[in-house]
Structure 1
Protein backbone atom coordinates (compact mmCIF):
# COMPACT_ATOMS: atom_id res chain seq x y z
CA UNK A 1 0.00 0.00 0.00
CA UNK A 2 1.30 3.47 -0.84
CA UNK A 3 2.16 5.58 2.16
CA UNK A 4 0.24 8.84 2.66
CA UNK A 5 2.03 11.97 1.51
CA UNK A 6 3.05 14.80 3.76
CA UNK A 7 1.80 18.23 2.71
CA UNK A 8 5.32 19.19 1.64
CA UNK A 9 6.00 16.11 -0.48
CA UNK A 10 5.90 16.14 -4.27
CA UNK A 11 4.24 12.99 -5.57
CA UNK A 12 6.02 11.49 -8.59
CA UNK A 13 5.23 8.77 -11.14
CA UNK A 14 8.18 7.27 -13.05
CA UNK A 15 7.70 5.95 -16.59
CA UNK A 16 10.47 4.12 -18.44
CA UNK A 17 10.70 0.76 -20.20
CA UNK A 18 14.13 0.02 -18.74
CA UNK A 19 13.49 -1.43 -15.30
CA UNK A 20 17.04 -0.91 -14.07
CA UNK A 21 17.01 2.78 -15.03
CA UNK A 22 13.54 3.23 -13.53
CA UNK A 23 14.61 1.54 -10.29
CA UNK A 24 17.61 3.85 -10.06
CA UNK A 25 15.37 6.87 -10.50
CA UNK A 26 13.07 5.56 -7.80
CA UNK A 27 15.96 5.32 -5.35
CA UNK A 28 17.15 8.85 -6.18
CA UNK A 29 13.72 10.47 -6.00
CA UNK A 30 12.55 8.43 -3.03
CA UNK A 31 15.60 9.52 -1.02
CA UNK A 32 14.47 13.16 -1.15
CA UNK A 33 12.68 14.39 1.96
CA UNK A 34 10.25 16.46 -0.13
CA UNK A 35 9.37 13.76 -2.71
CA UNK A 36 7.56 10.45 -2.85
CA UNK A 37 7.43 7.94 -5.70
CA UNK A 38 3.76 6.92 -5.79
CA UNK A 39 3.77 4.83 -8.96
CA UNK A 40 5.83 3.36 -11.79
CA UNK A 41 5.08 2.27 -15.35
CA UNK A 42 6.91 0.60 -18.23
CA UNK A 43 5.07 2.22 -21.18
CA UNK A 44 2.57 4.90 -22.06
CA UNK A 45 -0.51 2.76 -21.49
CA UNK A 46 0.64 1.78 -18.00
CA UNK A 47 1.57 5.42 -17.40
CA UNK A 48 -1.98 6.62 -18.06
CA UNK A 49 -3.31 4.01 -15.64
CA UNK A 50 -0.78 4.97 -12.95
CA UNK A 51 -1.49 8.68 -13.35
CA UNK A 52 -5.25 8.12 -13.12
CA UNK A 53 -4.78 5.96 -10.02
CA UNK A 54 -2.27 8.11 -8.13
CA UNK A 55 -2.85 11.65 -9.52
CA UNK A 56 0.79 12.66 -9.07
CA UNK A 57 2.19 16.17 -9.05
CA UNK A 58 4.99 15.35 -11.50
CA UNK A 59 5.59 12.59 -14.07
CA UNK A 60 9.02 11.64 -15.41
CA UNK A 61 8.21 10.15 -18.83
CA UNK A 62 10.55 8.35 -21.23
CA UNK A 63 10.17 9.58 -24.80
CA UNK A 64 10.48 6.29 -26.67
CA UNK A 65 8.64 3.21 -25.39
CA UNK A 66 6.54 0.47 -26.91
CA UNK A 67 3.69 -0.05 -27.61
CA UNK A 68 2.73 3.50 -26.55
CA UNK A 69 5.53 6.03 -26.31
CA UNK A 70 5.87 9.02 -24.05
CA UNK A 71 4.85 11.59 -26.67
CA UNK A 72 1.50 9.94 -27.31
CA UNK A 73 0.90 9.41 -23.59
CA UNK A 74 1.64 13.09 -22.96
CA UNK A 75 -0.78 14.10 -25.71
CA UNK A 76 -3.50 11.96 -24.10
CA UNK A 77 -2.85 13.47 -20.67
CA UNK A 78 -3.21 17.06 -21.79
CA UNK A 79 -6.03 16.52 -24.27
CA UNK A 80 -8.23 14.57 -21.85
CA UNK A 81 -11.66 16.08 -21.29
CA UNK A 82 -13.12 13.33 -19.12
CA UNK A 83 -11.43 14.26 -15.86
CA UNK A 84 -9.87 10.81 -15.74
CA UNK A 85 -6.59 12.13 -14.37
CA UNK A 86 -8.07 14.51 -11.81
CA UNK A 87 -5.53 17.28 -11.53
CA UNK A 88 -3.28 17.42 -14.60
CA UNK A 89 0.32 16.62 -13.58
CA UNK A 90 3.46 18.38 -14.72
CA UNK A 91 5.35 16.18 -17.19
CA UNK A 92 9.11 16.03 -17.72
CA UNK A 93 10.29 14.00 -20.70
CA UNK A 94 13.37 11.77 -20.43
CA UNK A 95 15.54 11.50 -23.52
CA UNK A 96 18.93 10.24 -24.62
CA UNK A 97 19.52 13.05 -27.10
CA UNK A 98 20.15 16.73 -26.38
CA UNK A 99 18.19 17.95 -29.42
CA UNK A 100 15.29 15.52 -29.51
CA UNK A 101 12.41 16.44 -31.83
CA UNK A 102 10.22 13.83 -30.14
CA UNK A 103 10.72 15.56 -26.79
CA UNK A 104 10.01 18.90 -28.47
CA UNK A 105 6.73 17.47 -29.76
CA UNK A 106 5.84 16.38 -26.23
CA UNK A 107 6.45 19.97 -25.09
CA UNK A 108 4.04 21.08 -27.82
CA UNK A 109 1.48 18.76 -26.25
CA UNK A 110 1.99 20.22 -22.77
CA UNK A 111 5.15 18.82 -21.17
CA UNK A 112 7.19 21.25 -19.08
CA UNK A 113 10.48 20.31 -20.73
CA UNK A 114 12.88 17.43 -20.93
CA UNK A 115 15.94 15.95 -19.24
CA UNK A 116 18.83 13.94 -20.60
CA UNK A 117 18.97 10.47 -19.11
CA UNK A 118 22.57 11.04 -18.08
CA UNK A 119 21.66 14.10 -15.98
CA UNK A 120 23.04 14.13 -12.45
CA UNK A 121 20.75 13.00 -9.63
CA UNK A 122 20.91 16.52 -8.19
CA UNK A 123 19.74 18.06 -11.48
CA UNK A 124 16.90 15.57 -11.81
CA UNK A 125 15.60 16.42 -8.35
CA UNK A 126 15.96 20.16 -8.85
CA UNK A 127 14.09 19.83 -12.14
CA UNK A 128 11.20 18.07 -10.40
CA UNK A 129 11.04 20.88 -7.87
CA UNK A 130 11.23 23.48 -10.64
CA UNK A 131 8.31 22.16 -12.68
CA UNK A 132 6.26 21.58 -9.54
CA UNK A 133 6.74 25.28 -8.78
CA UNK A 134 5.53 26.22 -12.27
CA UNK A 135 8.85 26.62 -14.06
CA UNK A 136 10.36 24.61 -16.92
CA UNK A 137 13.42 22.46 -17.51
CA UNK A 138 14.41 23.62 -20.96
CA UNK A 139 15.62 27.11 -21.74
CA UNK A 140 13.05 28.90 -23.94
CA UNK A 141 15.78 29.84 -26.42
CA UNK A 142 16.72 26.16 -26.82
CA UNK A 143 13.07 25.22 -27.33
CA UNK A 144 12.75 28.01 -29.90
CA UNK A 145 15.65 26.51 -31.85
CA UNK A 146 14.00 23.08 -31.79
CA UNK A 147 10.70 24.48 -32.97
CA UNK A 148 12.41 26.42 -35.76
CA UNK A 149 13.92 23.15 -36.99
CA UNK A 150 10.47 21.63 -37.45
CA UNK A 151 8.07 24.41 -38.54
CA UNK A 152 4.32 23.92 -38.58
CA UNK A 153 1.73 25.46 -40.91
CA UNK A 154 0.92 28.97 -39.74
CA UNK A 155 -2.73 29.36 -38.69
CA UNK A 156 -4.57 32.57 -37.96
CA UNK A 157 -3.59 34.31 -34.73
CA UNK A 158 -6.06 33.14 -32.03
CA UNK A 159 -8.67 35.66 -30.96
CA UNK A 160 -7.54 35.28 -27.34
CA UNK A 161 -4.29 37.02 -28.23
CA UNK A 162 -6.23 40.24 -28.78
CA UNK A 163 -7.23 40.16 -25.12
CA UNK A 164 -3.65 41.05 -24.21
CA UNK A 165 -2.76 44.68 -23.69
CA UNK A 166 -0.07 46.20 -25.89
CA UNK A 167 2.44 45.98 -23.05
CA UNK A 168 1.52 42.33 -22.43
CA UNK A 169 2.05 41.63 -26.14
CA UNK A 170 5.52 43.17 -25.87
CA UNK A 171 6.32 40.96 -22.87
CA UNK A 172 4.86 37.95 -24.70
CA UNK A 173 7.17 38.60 -27.65
CA UNK A 174 10.19 38.90 -25.37
CA UNK A 175 9.39 35.63 -23.59
CA UNK A 176 8.86 33.93 -26.95
CA UNK A 177 12.37 34.99 -27.94
CA UNK A 178 13.72 33.23 -24.86
CA UNK A 179 14.57 36.32 -22.81
CA UNK A 180 14.78 35.98 -19.03
CA UNK A 181 12.86 38.32 -16.75
CA UNK A 182 15.95 40.45 -16.09
CA UNK A 183 16.55 40.84 -19.83
CA UNK A 184 12.91 41.73 -20.45
CA UNK A 185 13.11 44.27 -17.66
CA UNK A 186 16.07 45.99 -19.30
CA UNK A 187 14.62 45.78 -22.82
CA UNK A 188 11.21 47.22 -21.93
CA UNK A 189 12.29 49.50 -19.07
CA UNK A 190 10.13 47.68 -16.54
CA UNK A 191 10.85 46.39 -13.05
CA UNK A 192 11.26 42.63 -12.75
CA UNK A 193 8.20 42.46 -10.49
CA UNK A 194 6.16 44.19 -13.20
CA UNK A 195 7.47 41.73 -15.77
CA UNK A 196 6.37 38.84 -13.55
CA UNK A 197 2.94 40.43 -13.18
CA UNK A 198 2.57 40.75 -16.95
CA UNK A 199 3.68 37.14 -17.50
CA UNK A 200 1.11 35.97 -14.96
CA UNK A 201 -1.60 37.90 -16.80
CA UNK A 202 -0.49 36.45 -20.14
CA UNK A 203 -0.60 32.88 -18.82
CA UNK A 204 -4.04 33.46 -17.33
CA UNK A 205 -5.55 35.13 -20.41
CA UNK A 206 -4.16 32.58 -22.87
CA UNK A 207 -4.80 29.62 -20.55
CA UNK A 208 -1.14 28.55 -20.59
CA UNK A 209 0.79 26.74 -17.85
CA UNK A 210 4.28 28.25 -18.01
CA UNK A 211 6.63 30.40 -20.09
CA UNK A 212 7.72 27.43 -22.21
CA UNK A 213 4.11 27.17 -23.35
CA UNK A 214 4.32 30.82 -24.39
CA UNK A 215 7.15 29.86 -26.76
CA UNK A 216 5.10 26.97 -28.16
CA UNK A 217 2.01 29.19 -28.49
CA UNK A 218 3.97 31.82 -30.41
CA UNK A 219 5.25 29.28 -32.93
CA UNK A 220 2.03 27.35 -33.39
CA UNK A 221 0.02 30.57 -33.75
CA UNK A 222 2.43 32.19 -36.18
CA UNK A 223 3.04 35.12 -33.85
CA UNK A 224 6.48 36.54 -34.61
CA UNK A 225 7.18 40.05 -33.42
Structure 2
Protein backbone atom coordinates (compact mmCIF):
# COMPACT_ATOMS: atom_id res chain seq x y z
CA UNK A 1 0.00 0.00 0.00
CA UNK A 2 1.32 3.48 -0.85
CA UNK A 3 2.00 6.02 1.89
CA UNK A 4 -1.04 8.26 2.18
CA UNK A 5 -0.36 11.96 2.85
CA UNK A 6 -2.64 14.84 3.86
CA UNK A 7 -1.30 18.28 2.86
CA UNK A 8 -2.19 21.14 5.21
CA UNK A 9 -1.08 24.64 4.16
CA UNK A 10 -2.89 27.92 3.58
CA UNK A 11 -0.83 28.62 0.43
CA UNK A 12 -2.23 26.85 -2.67
CA UNK A 13 1.12 27.04 -4.46
CA UNK A 14 2.87 25.24 -1.62
CA UNK A 15 0.25 22.49 -1.62
CA UNK A 16 0.51 22.16 -5.40
CA UNK A 17 4.29 21.92 -5.24
CA UNK A 18 4.23 19.27 -2.53
CA UNK A 19 1.57 17.29 -4.38
CA UNK A 20 3.61 17.29 -7.59
CA UNK A 21 6.75 16.12 -5.76
CA UNK A 22 5.04 13.40 -3.73
CA UNK A 23 2.77 12.02 -6.43
CA UNK A 24 5.76 11.53 -8.72
CA UNK A 25 6.75 8.68 -6.36
CA UNK A 26 5.25 5.22 -6.90
CA UNK A 27 4.95 4.55 -3.16
CA UNK A 28 3.29 7.84 -2.10
CA UNK A 29 -0.18 9.25 -2.75
CA UNK A 30 -1.80 12.52 -1.67
CA UNK A 31 -5.10 11.66 0.01
CA UNK A 32 -6.31 15.25 0.32
CA UNK A 33 -5.56 18.89 1.02
CA UNK A 34 -6.63 21.36 3.70
CA UNK A 35 -6.11 25.12 3.75
CA UNK A 36 -6.30 25.50 7.53
CA UNK A 37 -5.68 23.53 10.70
CA UNK A 38 -9.36 23.71 11.62
CA UNK A 39 -10.15 21.18 8.87
CA UNK A 40 -7.53 18.64 9.89
CA UNK A 41 -9.31 16.46 12.45
CA UNK A 42 -12.42 15.75 10.34
CA UNK A 43 -10.27 15.12 7.27
CA UNK A 44 -8.02 12.73 9.19
CA UNK A 45 -11.05 10.80 10.41
CA UNK A 46 -12.41 10.60 6.86
CA UNK A 47 -9.21 9.91 4.90
CA UNK A 48 -7.04 8.06 7.49
CA UNK A 49 -3.70 9.34 6.09
CA UNK A 50 -0.41 7.85 7.22
CA UNK A 51 1.34 11.23 7.33
CA UNK A 52 0.24 14.86 7.66
CA UNK A 53 2.49 17.49 6.10
CA UNK A 54 1.46 20.38 8.36
CA UNK A 55 2.19 24.07 7.91
CA UNK A 56 2.91 25.84 11.19
CA UNK A 57 1.52 29.32 10.57
CA UNK A 58 -2.11 29.35 9.41
CA UNK A 59 -4.84 31.96 9.97
CA UNK A 60 -7.67 30.12 11.76
CA UNK A 61 -5.95 27.27 13.60
CA UNK A 62 -2.17 27.00 13.50
CA UNK A 63 -0.17 23.82 13.14
CA UNK A 64 0.58 23.61 16.86
CA UNK A 65 -3.06 23.50 17.90
CA UNK A 66 -3.94 21.29 14.94
CA UNK A 67 -1.24 18.82 16.02
CA UNK A 68 -2.57 18.79 19.58
CA UNK A 69 -6.12 18.29 18.30
CA UNK A 70 -5.17 15.32 16.13
CA UNK A 71 -3.18 13.57 18.85
CA UNK A 72 -5.86 14.26 21.45
CA UNK A 73 -8.95 13.24 19.51
CA UNK A 74 -7.96 10.71 16.82
CA UNK A 75 -7.46 7.05 17.64
CA UNK A 76 -4.23 5.78 16.07
CA UNK A 77 -3.27 9.24 14.78
CA UNK A 78 -1.11 9.69 11.69
CA UNK A 79 2.50 10.79 11.85
CA UNK A 80 2.92 14.57 11.65
CA UNK A 81 5.64 16.34 9.70
CA UNK A 82 5.79 20.09 10.26
CA UNK A 83 6.58 22.08 7.11
CA UNK A 84 8.04 25.50 7.82
CA UNK A 85 9.81 28.46 6.25
CA UNK A 86 12.10 29.24 9.20
CA UNK A 87 13.97 26.41 10.90
CA UNK A 88 14.53 28.24 14.20
CA UNK A 89 10.93 29.37 14.57
CA UNK A 90 9.46 29.08 18.09
CA UNK A 91 6.29 27.76 16.42
CA UNK A 92 8.27 24.77 15.16
CA UNK A 93 9.63 24.00 18.61
CA UNK A 94 6.15 24.18 20.14
CA UNK A 95 4.79 21.89 17.41
CA UNK A 96 7.52 19.35 18.23
CA UNK A 97 6.68 19.63 21.92
CA UNK A 98 3.02 19.06 21.04
CA UNK A 99 3.91 15.75 19.38
CA UNK A 100 4.96 16.40 15.79
CA UNK A 101 7.46 13.83 14.53
CA UNK A 102 9.87 16.23 12.87
CA UNK A 103 10.06 19.25 10.64
CA UNK A 104 10.90 20.01 7.05
CA UNK A 105 11.90 23.31 5.47
CA UNK A 106 9.77 24.56 2.57
CA UNK A 107 12.95 25.22 0.62
CA UNK A 108 14.03 21.57 0.94
CA UNK A 109 14.94 19.72 -2.24
CA UNK A 110 12.38 17.27 -3.66
CA UNK A 111 14.50 14.27 -2.64
CA UNK A 112 14.65 15.57 0.95
CA UNK A 113 10.87 16.00 1.04
CA UNK A 114 10.29 12.47 -0.21
CA UNK A 115 12.83 11.06 2.26
CA UNK A 116 11.16 12.92 5.15
CA UNK A 117 7.72 11.54 4.33
CA UNK A 118 9.04 7.98 4.03
CA UNK A 119 11.04 8.29 7.25
CA UNK A 120 8.18 9.46 9.45
CA UNK A 121 5.77 7.01 7.81
CA UNK A 122 8.10 4.20 8.91
CA UNK A 123 8.01 5.47 12.49
CA UNK A 124 11.20 7.51 12.44
CA UNK A 125 11.64 11.04 13.73
CA UNK A 126 13.10 13.73 11.51
CA UNK A 127 15.37 15.95 13.59
CA UNK A 128 18.06 18.42 12.67
CA UNK A 129 20.19 18.16 15.82
CA UNK A 130 22.02 21.48 15.46
CA UNK A 131 18.78 23.36 14.81
CA UNK A 132 17.01 21.67 17.71
CA UNK A 133 19.89 22.62 20.01
CA UNK A 134 19.47 26.25 18.97
CA UNK A 135 15.71 26.17 19.54
CA UNK A 136 16.16 24.48 22.94
CA UNK A 137 18.61 27.06 24.27
CA UNK A 138 17.36 28.72 27.44
CA UNK A 139 14.34 26.43 27.83
CA UNK A 140 15.60 24.34 30.76
CA UNK A 141 13.16 24.58 33.67
CA UNK A 142 12.61 23.18 37.16
CA UNK A 143 9.46 21.23 36.30
CA UNK A 144 11.17 19.44 33.41
CA UNK A 145 14.15 18.66 35.65
CA UNK A 146 11.86 17.16 38.30
CA UNK A 147 9.98 15.09 35.72
CA UNK A 148 13.26 13.81 34.31
CA UNK A 149 14.58 12.76 37.71
CA UNK A 150 11.31 10.94 38.48
CA UNK A 151 11.77 8.94 35.26
CA UNK A 152 14.84 7.33 36.93
CA UNK A 153 16.66 6.33 33.76
CA UNK A 154 19.44 3.79 34.18
CA UNK A 155 22.98 4.80 33.28
CA UNK A 156 22.74 2.85 30.01
CA UNK A 157 19.43 4.56 29.16
CA UNK A 158 21.07 7.92 29.85
CA UNK A 159 23.88 7.03 27.47
CA UNK A 160 21.35 6.11 24.80
CA UNK A 161 19.42 9.35 25.30
CA UNK A 162 22.59 11.44 24.94
CA UNK A 163 23.29 9.76 21.61
CA UNK A 164 19.68 10.15 20.51
CA UNK A 165 20.08 13.87 21.22
CA UNK A 166 22.94 13.95 18.74
CA UNK A 167 20.59 12.62 16.08
CA UNK A 168 22.06 9.12 15.93
CA UNK A 169 19.94 6.25 14.63
CA UNK A 170 19.56 2.96 16.52
CA UNK A 171 22.21 1.37 14.31
CA UNK A 172 24.63 4.25 14.94
CA UNK A 173 23.99 4.09 18.70
CA UNK A 174 24.62 0.33 18.60
CA UNK A 175 27.96 0.95 16.91
CA UNK A 176 28.90 3.69 19.37
CA UNK A 177 28.12 1.54 22.43
CA UNK A 178 29.19 -1.77 20.86
CA UNK A 179 25.80 -3.36 21.51
CA UNK A 180 23.30 -5.24 19.37
CA UNK A 181 20.61 -3.37 17.43
CA UNK A 182 17.81 -5.18 19.28
CA UNK A 183 19.35 -4.23 22.62
CA UNK A 184 19.41 -0.57 21.59
CA UNK A 185 15.82 -0.79 20.39
CA UNK A 186 14.86 -2.11 23.84
CA UNK A 187 16.71 0.73 25.57
CA UNK A 188 15.12 3.36 23.32
CA UNK A 189 11.65 1.95 24.08
CA UNK A 190 12.44 2.06 27.80
CA UNK A 191 13.58 5.70 27.55
CA UNK A 192 10.39 6.70 25.72
CA UNK A 193 8.21 4.85 28.21
CA UNK A 194 9.87 6.29 31.30
CA UNK A 195 9.78 9.84 29.93
CA UNK A 196 6.20 9.50 28.70
CA UNK A 197 7.44 10.51 25.24
CA UNK A 198 5.48 9.69 22.09
CA UNK A 199 8.67 9.34 20.07
CA UNK A 200 12.35 10.20 19.88
CA UNK A 201 11.62 13.87 19.19
CA UNK A 202 9.78 14.36 22.47
CA UNK A 203 12.41 12.37 24.37
CA UNK A 204 15.16 14.64 23.03
CA UNK A 205 13.16 17.74 23.91
CA UNK A 206 12.75 16.39 27.45
CA UNK A 207 16.51 15.87 27.60
CA UNK A 208 17.14 19.51 26.69
CA UNK A 209 14.40 21.05 28.84
CA UNK A 210 15.51 19.09 31.91
CA UNK A 211 19.09 20.26 31.44
CA UNK A 212 20.25 16.62 31.08
CA UNK A 213 21.69 17.59 27.69
CA UNK A 214 23.10 21.10 27.27
CA UNK A 215 22.08 22.89 24.05
CA UNK A 216 25.67 23.97 23.51
Say whether residues 1:50 and 2:43 are aligned partners: yes
Change (3 A) 1:86 1:185: closer
d(CA) in 2 for partners of 1:126, 1:202: 26
Contact kept, 8 Å, 2:140 with 2:210, in 1: the verdict is no
Say whether residues 1:153 and 2:141 are aligned partners: yes
Say whether residues 1:173 and 2:166 are aligned partners: no
Partner of 1:5: none
Query: Stretches of 4+ moved more than 6 A in 1?
Result: none
Q: How many residues align?
A: 212
C-alpha deviations, 1:157-200, integer Å up to 9, x for none? 257612x4332232223323545556644654434553333213
Say whether residues 1:195 and 2:214 are aligned partners: no
Structure 1 vs Structure 2 CA RMSD: 2.4
d(CA) in 2 for partners of 1:167, 1:13: 38
Unaligned runs of 5+ in 1: 1-7
Please state whether the residue corresponding to 1:68 is helix, strand or coil: coil
Contact kept, 8 Å, 1:60 with 1:91, in 2: the verdict is yes
Change (3 A) 1:111 1:198: same
Say whether residues 1:70 and 2:63 are aligned partners: yes
Partner of 2:29: 36
d(CA) in 1 for partners of 2:8, 2:165: 30
d(CA) in 2 for partners of 1:9, 1:218: 35
Give the CA deviation at 1:92.
Answer: 0.8
Change (3 A) 1:220 1:76: farther
Give the CA deviation at 1:209.
Answer: 3.4
d(CA) in 2 for partners of 1:63, 1:92: 10
d(CA) in 2 for partners of 1:77, 1:144: 26
Change (3 A) 1:24 1:187: closer
Contact kept, 8 Å, 1:144 with 1:178, in 2: the verdict is no
d(CA) in 1 for partners of 2:18, 2:176: 41
Unaligned runs of 5+ in 2: none
